[in-house]
């Protein structure tokens, strides 16, 4: 889909031309899963596919929402902005507009708008299509409502925080900041080492000579709002409460692996203990993986990715048979350095490091093994690491 085709679709839908076009990417997390809301670090990168938004003012004091990916159309008065029922897709955009106004007293929505979205992030793949929609909306409407920052990095962080607040309040998913942050702060050919507690971050060059990042889609959609994600958040809070009786902490990520040996017996809830063990180990793996990438130790980076999946499978229990089938098949292919689930889990995608000469063999073997075990067909994407949110026109 080209931007010219999007412009034509906008004019056909609304009878007038779009005034501006914005884009925000999806993301893949290389390592550091379910650490973000536990105060830990993550290591995502923005992708070259994501969400586009075309906007133009109207004279009717209403917000009109259309998507080239969805059938439902919404029209909401600008004086009556509130969450829409039945998990309406427009909530991911509407919430951002509401939150901008609440976070920024100077922000004014002085006109109605016609909006058209298009996304090419595979639906339900766990590559943050919702975060891309939130961040692209936040980017457009901070501009339209007169919110400005002299510091671009601070501005992009604010866009991420707006998107996260929208996810919490309008979608009911108590997500961490990683997805929105990667969409806002992404940089071409770099991953982001982000401390989710302080929001301090570093762009780390991704130099994979003769190796590609391959994303494999289970086509088993993940459902973060099904309750399982929020259950994990609560279980981690339980672990923090019990550990704090012997060692005061705010987040599980404050614990080193040595600390863990000293405090794990304080957790009486066996499920909470497993969740905490994953978080502590994953924080350590993420730091080690970033250093490995900086040093060019790609084989070790891959080993850490694989160890991450095992922990997510056994201790955090968010993989499921589809993601396990993909990862376990990938581990058998010569030329695969590592493979793990990425995203919230419960379906979605794996991310693998694959040598160039092994990519076709990887696709054939993993695809066949996956279909044999699950009856589903996987899709494969050789990822390109792109920039964060921007105004295109």
Instruction: Write out pLDDT tens, residues 80-105.
Output: 999 999 989 999 999 999 999 999 99
Tell me the CATH class for 211-382: alpha beta
Predicted confidence (pLDDT) at residue 199 exceeds the cutoff of 80? yes
Residue 311: phi and psi, rounded to 5, are -65, -40
Identify the pLDDT of residue 129: 87
Six-digit token string for 150: 């002299």
Predicted confidence (pLDDT) at residue 346 exceeds the cutoff of 70? yes
| Integer Cα distance of 181 and 242 in angstroms | 30
Identify the pLDDT of residue 343: 84
CA neighbor of 225 nearest in space, from 83, 354, 98:
83
By residue count, the chain amounts to 393
Mean pLDDT of the chain: 94
| Integer Cα distance of 42 and 194 in angstroms | 5
Q: For 46-70, how does the pLDDT look when each residue is reduced to its tens digit (9 = 90+)? A: 998 999 999 999 999 999 999 999 9
Contact 121, 130 (CB under 8 A): no
Q: For 267-296, how does the pLDDT look when each residue is reduced to its tens digit (9 = 90+)? A: 999 999 999 999 999 999 999 999 999 999
Residue positions annotated with a catalytic role: 179
Using DSSP, state whether 48 is helix, strand or coil: strand
Residue 97: phi and psi, rounded to 5, are -65, -45
CA neighbor of 216 nearest in space, from 99, 323, 290:
323
Q: Give the C-alpha distances (Å, rounded to integers) separating 150 from 57, 109, 336.
A: 26, 21, 44
Residue ranges of the chain assigned to CATH 3.30.70.890:
211-382
Q: What is the pTM of this model?
A: 0.90
Q: Give the C-alpha distances (Å, rounded to integers) separating 124 from 7, 9, 225.
A: 26, 24, 12
Six-digit token string for 14: 């609304």
Report the DSSP beta bridge partners of residue 82: none
Residue ranges of the chain assigned to CATH 3.30.230.10:
3-205
* Phi-psi category of residue 343: left, alpha or beta, with phi > 0 → left and psi -120 to 50 → alpha: left
CATH topology of domain 3-205: Ribosomal Protein S5; domain 2 (3.30.230)
């Amino acid at each position: 889909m080209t931007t010219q085709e999007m412009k034509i679709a906008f004019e056909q839908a609304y009878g007038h031309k779009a005034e501006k076009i914005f884009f925000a990417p999806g993301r893949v997390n290389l390592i550091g899963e379910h650490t973000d809301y536990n105060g830990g670090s993550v290591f995502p990168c923005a992708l070259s596919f994501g969400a586009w938004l075309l906007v133009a003012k109207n004279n009717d004091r209403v917000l009109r929402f259309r998507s080239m990916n969805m059938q439902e159309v919404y029209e909401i008065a600008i004086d009556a902005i509130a969450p829409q029922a039945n998990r309406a897709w427009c909530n991911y955009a509407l919430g951002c507009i509401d939150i901008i106004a609440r976070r920024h007293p100077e922000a004014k929505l002085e006109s109605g708008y016609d909006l058209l979205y298009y996304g090419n992030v595979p639906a339900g793949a766990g590559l943050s299509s919702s975060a891309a929609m939130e961040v692209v909306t936040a980017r457009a409407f901070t501009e339209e409502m007169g919110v400005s920052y002299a510091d671009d990095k601070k501005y992009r962080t604010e866009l991420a925080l707006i998107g996260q607040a929208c996810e919490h309040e309008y979608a009911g998913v108590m997500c961490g900041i990683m997805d929105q942050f990667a969409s806002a702060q992404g940089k071409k050919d770099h991953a982001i080492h982000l401390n989710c507690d302080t929001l301090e971050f570093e762009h780390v060059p991704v130099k994979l000579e003769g190796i590609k990042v391959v994303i494999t889609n289970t086509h088993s959609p993940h459902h973060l709002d099904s309750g399982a994600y929020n259950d994990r958040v609560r279980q981690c809070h339980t672990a923090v409460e019990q550990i704090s009786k012997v060692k005061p902490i705010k987040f599980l990520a404050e614990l080193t692996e040595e600390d863990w040996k000293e405090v794990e017996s304080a957790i009486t809830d066996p499920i909470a203990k497993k969740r905490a063990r994953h978080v502590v180990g994953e924080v350590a793996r993420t730091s080690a993986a970033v250093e490995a990438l900086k040093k060019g130790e790609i084989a070790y980076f891959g080993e850490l990715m694989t160890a991450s999946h095992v922990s997510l499978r056994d201790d955090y229990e968010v993989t499921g048979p589809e993601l396990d089938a993909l990862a376990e098949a990938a581990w058998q292919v010569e030329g695969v350095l590592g493979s793990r689930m990425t995203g919230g889990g419960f379906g979605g995608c794996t991310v693998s490091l694959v040598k160039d000469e092994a990519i076709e063999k990887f696709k054939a073997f993993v695809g066949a093994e996956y279909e044999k075990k699950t009856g589903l067909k996987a899709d494969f994407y050789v990822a390109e690491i792109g920039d964060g949110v921007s105004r295109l026109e």
